[in-house]
Structure formats: structure tokens, C-alpha cells
Chain A
Amino acid sequence: MNPPLQLVLTSADWLNLFGHYLLLSLMSVGGAISTTAEMHRFLVEQHGWLTQAQFNESIAIAQAAPGPNVLFVALMGWNVGMNAGSTAAACLGVLITMVGIMLPSTTLTYMAAQWGYRNRDLRAVRAFKQGMAPIVVALLVSTGLILGGANHRLATDWPIWTLSVVAGLIIWRTRIHLLWLLAAGAVLGWYQIV
């Protein structure tokens, strides 16, 4: 199957891609997903290295797949490489985008965490970690609400909302294994019940 785009990427282009992801990594407070608007501008609008459909599918597949959502970056790198014509280029794309998006943020986080751990008795460090706790709770609840509220029409979307709420209640009140609930969600979706 031919890729939807046929690109010729020079080593300067690959370097440009790498540099851009290094930069995005530093901006990715709240996760790589918060920089998707900028990725879209760079990959789809400015350079035309990905089609709109490839961009959307990369995010949707990584969201559904097991593992951290940041792996949508790997799929974008893969698709850029496939557009450049080969599986080898696709592997290079994965390597470049993933190392780019991970290296700066993990280095910074590791150093900050080690510093914080060594100085964990400092009043300021304790105040920071404990003072943020209510916001952490708020962010988790909000993420669930935003993801669950992505479907907007009450008349047709109430079954899927019900599924989200019931799943949330079960997780909150029981210790059932999460995979059972996910499997139930998949079955209900497969038969178009939600």
C-alpha cells in the first residue's frame, strides 16, 4: 500500500524534526498531549510531513492502546518515516521523535526529583508538595470529565456517559481489576450498545 504522502527527507530535515521535539519536550507541562496544537502546526501545516488523517489517527490509536499516551509521538514519527518511503525511515522517525520528546523532560524531572528528595525536610519543599495536593485531585477529576465529556449530544450520547459514570463508581467503591471493566467497555462498544 502506498503512503498518502511521498516525501524526500534530507538529514537537515531529520535534524529539524529532532530539534523541534527537544523544544516541545521542554514545553510539555501537563504531558506531551498539551503540545499537540504546536505539533500539528509544525508537522501538518508548516512542513506537510503528515496528513490531517494520519495526525488524528496517531493520537486516537495511542489513546486506545495500552501504555502512556505519549506514544502517539512515536506513531507520528513512524508515519513521517513511512511517508518518506521505507520501514527503515519509519524506525528512524520513531527514534528521533521519541528521544526528542523524552530526553529534556526526563533529565529535568530526574534532577528536580533527586534534589527534592535530598531536601525533603525543607519547609519549602514540604509546603510545595503538600500544598499542590488539592490541585492534583482537581486535575485528575477534570481529566476524567474532559475525556468523558468529549461526546456532546445528550440525546444520543447518554449511554456512553452512563458507562463512564458506572465505571467510575465501580473503581471508586471496589477493588475489581481494571482490565475487566475495560473489556466490558470494549464489548459494549463493539456491539454498538454505547
Chain B
Amino acid sequence: MKVLRKMSLLELKLFAREPVTVLFTLALPLLVLYVLGGVFNQPAEPGVFRGVSGPNYYLPAYIGLVAASIGLIALPVHIAGYRERGVLRRYRASAVPSISIFGAQVLVAFVAASLSALVLIGAATASWDISAPRSLPGVLGAFVISVLCFAAIGFLLGAVLPSPRAAQGVGVLLWFVMFMISGSGPPPEVLPGSLNAVGNATPLKHVIVLIQDPWLGFG
């Protein structure tokens, strides 16, 4: 427990000391939010965007997208880097419990995702008419599940991919494909049915619906 606490604190400090990572975590979702939120800034209309306005549709979707970018890109690159450079060997040789290594990463993933989500919510609320979540506990629960789900995928990718470069390539590819076809990029309504069928099978699609439903009062 003491080791887990120390390791978590350390990993948080290491995260804060990487300006590029912090910037990426905070700026990328904002960029996407403003581009797509601006393009699809249309009022609520039945049959499009699940019947809500563009920004109201995209905000919860981007919170899911943030969880995906952490799980698909940041986490695997970090883990593969630790393995390639011998950090994991160093920890293992000194019997650092695996639970503290993974626990600390999950904690950092939560902190990074929460920061991004707060920035997104703040920016979106300032720019558009955003409705408050219908069920806050529902949204919070969905957020926790989303981050855990993508963190698990991240550990898997980090364990399987041989190097940080490979992890970066595969991660960005997966993230981008999911971004495009899972309802967080172009509206699902404009995509052909076959792409939507594939999109429905991605974890990001499920995470987005999981966060949107309690926020927008569906399900």
C-alpha cells in the first residue's frame, strides 16, 4: 500500500514533468472539440445527433475520446518505453509489486482524463449552450468504466507491442480509426452502413454511448 502510494505520487510527478504529454492531453481534445463543434454547431433536430444539438452530442463523445487517447496511445507508449529501456526490469529486480506499477498508471490515466474532461466541459460550456448531465452519478460511473476499459486495452497494447515507436504507430492508427467511425468524428448519420457496423464494434462507440446516455437522458 505504501509502495502503491509512493509510486502513484511519483508517476503523477513524472507526468507533470512531461510538458509535451500534458499539452497533448489537454490541447488535442480542445482542438477537436472546436473544429467539429464549430462545423456541426447545429440545433437539435430529430434523427441527427441522437436528437440533440451538435455541441451537446459531441461534448460527452469527446470525454470518451480522451479516455481512448490515453488508453490507446499514451499508456502503451509509456509502458512499452519502460519495458524497452529496462525500467520494468529494474523494478522487477527489486521486487516492486506489479500492482503498484499498474495501479499508479491507472491513477495517472484517471487524473489525465479528468483534467481533459474538465477542460473540455469548461470550454464547451463557455462557447455553446450545453445542457447539464441528466444523471451526474451515471456520467461519473460511465467515465470511470470508460477510463478503466481503455486503461486495460492500454496495458494489453503496452505488453504486446515491442517498442514505444510501434506502440505510438499502432495506437495512433487505432485511435484515429475509432475516432472517425465511432460517432466522435463525422456524425454516424453521414457514414455508410457498413462503416457504422464496424464502428459499433469498437470499444470507443460503446464508451461514447455509455457517457452520452446518462448525460443526455437516454437509456
Q: Do A and B assemble together?
A: no
A-side residues, CB < 8 A to B, are: none
